[in-house]
């Protein structure tokens, strides 16, 4: 059985989860793989304790453990899981289409999950009086100015970024998760709002739904 090492914490307003850990949970669910979660203390990750560094050389989550095999980095793990279980492929067969999925996945990782989402998400993990509201607003402004127009363009008339649901949509499910807690208005971006709504309707989303407690 696979063990996923990630960060999750209960708050009165929902269960908050590591965005990158959530990416892996989604693919485990989409692939129907049996897994359990082991929760790493956020302070151990921030302090880079030796036990975390021994599993992830950058001292981050997520990583997975399968017998004596350890693998880190959500993108690398998800490609591994996709190859491990050929059913319900999350990468297209065509080589050009596959490259496009990977490019969009990279955009989401670098342009959303590492850039604007932490500005909104990190403050939700600390007491209200300690939140940097300006930073949260800058995160939302960045999504509006750069990310939502990009997603609108990439979607075109499709339901998902590359037509069918692929690895490119997986990190966007964590955008759906963060904005569910944040409650940011999507009125000006109806296509993106509908897309995030569609992602929330997938069975796999239940595993990262902030309204659902730790499993
Ligand atoms: N490229 C990595 C990024 C992992 C990452 O940044 N994880 C965050 C939690 S969502 C973390 O551990 N942050 C602690 C740190 O950067 O020190 C991946 O995709 O797994």
Q: What is the pLDDT of residues 140-178, one digit of tens each?
A: 999 999 999 999 999 999 999 999 999 999 999 999 999
What is the average pLDDT across 25-53? 97
- Percent with pLDDT over 70 in the chain: 100
- Percent with pLDDT over 90 in the chain: 99
Alpha helices in 88-132 (DSSP H): 95-107, 117-124
Please state whether the predicted TM-score (pTM) of the whole model is above 0.75.
yes
What is the average pLDDT across 59-82? 98
Q: How far is the CA of 213 from the centre of ligand 1 (A)?
A: 22
Query: Can you give the residue ranges of every domain in the chain?
Result: 2-88, 95-205
Domain spanning 2-88: CATH superfamily: Glutaredoxin (3.40.30.10)
Identify the DSSP state of 145. I
Q: Is the CB of 45 under 6 A from ligand 1?
A: yes
Identify the DSSP state of 108. I
Q: Residue 15: is its pLDDT beyond 80?
A: yes
What rounded mean pLDDT belongs to the chain? 97
Backbone conformation region of residue 39, classed left if phi is above 0, alpha if psi is from -120 to 50, else beta: beta
Q: Is the CB of 61 under 6 A from ligand 1?
A: yes
Q: How far is the CA of 62 from the centre of ligand 1 (A)?
A: 7
Please identify which residue in the block is written with the tokens 């399968």.
Answer: 66
Q: How far is the CA of 158 from the centre of ligand 1 (A)?
A: 30
CATH class label, 95-205: mainly alpha
Query: What confidence tens digit (pLDDT) does each residue in 107-146 have?
Result: 999 999 999 999 999 999 999 999 999 999 999 999 999 9
**Alpha-carbon span 206 to 147, nearest angstrom:** 24
Q: Is the CB of 60 under 6 A from ligand 1?
A: yes
Residue among 20, 24, 114, 167 to mutate when testing ligand 1 (max atoms within 8 A of CB): 20
pLDDT at 56: 98
Q: Is the CB of 82 under 6 A from ligand 1?
A: no
Confidence of residue 214 (pLDDT cuts 50, 70, 90): confident
pLDDT at 215: 73
């Amino acid at each position: 059985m696979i063990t996923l090492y990630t960060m999750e914490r209960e708050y009165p307003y929902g269960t908050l989860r590591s965005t990158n850990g959530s990416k892996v949970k989604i693919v485990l669910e989409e692939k129907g793989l049996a897994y359990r979660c082991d929760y790493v203390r956020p302070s151990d990750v921030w302090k880079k304790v030796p036990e975390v560094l021994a599993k992830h050389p950058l001292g981050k989550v997520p990583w997975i453990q399968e017998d004596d095999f350890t693998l880190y980095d959500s993108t690398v793990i998800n490609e591994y899981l996709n190859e491990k279980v050929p059913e319900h492929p999350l990468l297209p067969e065509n080589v050009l289409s596959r490259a496009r999925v990977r490019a969009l996945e990279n955009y989401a990782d670098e342009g959303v999950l590492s850039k604007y989402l932490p500005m909104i998400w990190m403050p939700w993990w600390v007491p209200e009086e300690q939140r940097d509201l300006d930073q949260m607003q800058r995160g939302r402004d960045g999504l509006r100015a750069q990310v939502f127009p990009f997603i609108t363009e990439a979607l075109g008339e499709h339901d998902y970024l590359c037509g069918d649901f692929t690895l490119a949509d997986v990190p966007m499910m964590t955008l759906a998760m963060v904005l569910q807690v944040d409650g940011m208005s999507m009125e000006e971006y109806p296509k993106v709002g509908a897309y995030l709504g569609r992602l929330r309707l997938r069975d796999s989303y239940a595993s990262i739904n902030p309204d659902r407690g730790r499993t």
